[in-house]
A and B are shown apart, each in its own frame.
Chain A
């Protein structure tokens, strides 16, 4: 049982390049989330998917797109990377449907945009 996995762990991009961050969970969770963490800040929500087939914007969605490929996978795409998107990105999942259930986090991806 791997929990929430993210690939890659580290990535360096040049301004204007595109890339996709991958996230997968094996806990049969319904809801999945993408957060970013900047120095001196807590995690901020980029996008989320309450269930398979649905996605919604979070607090900081500009410059990102997401795809809920199936129940297991939720990807985050940067179409034209900017230095302001240098951050650590976390994917998380939650079973959903119960008010008290816990959100589980992946190990994070450290992205640097030059």
Chain B
């Protein structure tokens, strides 16, 4: 079974600085998708960034980027120029490819709580 591990329960960053959140996963599949979701105090789950495993290029969305190391099964999130609004729980998630009968279920890590200091 696939598993997702986030080894940092809490992280802290100074406003305008850069922070990296770690995620590792375990799978025997070669085709899959990885996601980072943000959960602010409002509880709403917000997709931050997505990476397709077959793409070697790391995904980027404005201040958010990932370092995807397929061989090492590592998928870290880098937040540049951190803002107060970035303070939230961040969840790493895995999903199998649709091919082969998967129904698109997400498997989540336990989350990292990010604090941003002014």
What is the bound-complex CA distance between A45 and B44, given in angstroms? 17
Does residue B52 face the partner (Cβ distance < 8 Å to A)?
yes
Contacts of A48 in B (CB 8 A): 103, 105
What is the bound-complex CA distance between A94 and B91, given in angstroms? 18
Cβ A99 vs Cβ B99 within 8 A: yes
Distance in Å: Cβ of B33 to nearest Cβ of chain A: 7
Residue of B50, B95, B97, B104 ringed by the most chain A CB atoms within 10 A: B104
Distance in Å: Cβ of B51 to nearest Cβ of chain A: 10
Contacts of A41 in B (CB 8 A): 110-111
Task: Given A99-B98, A100-B33, verify A43-B108 contact (CB < 8 Å).
Answer: yes
What is the bound-complex CA distance between A98 and B105, given in angstroms? 13
Q: Which of B44, B103, B111 is in CB contact (< 8 Å) with A56? A: B103
A residues near B (Cβ < 8 Å) are 31, 33, 35, 40-45, 48, 50, 56, 58, 88, 90, 92, 94, 96-103, 105, 107-108, 110
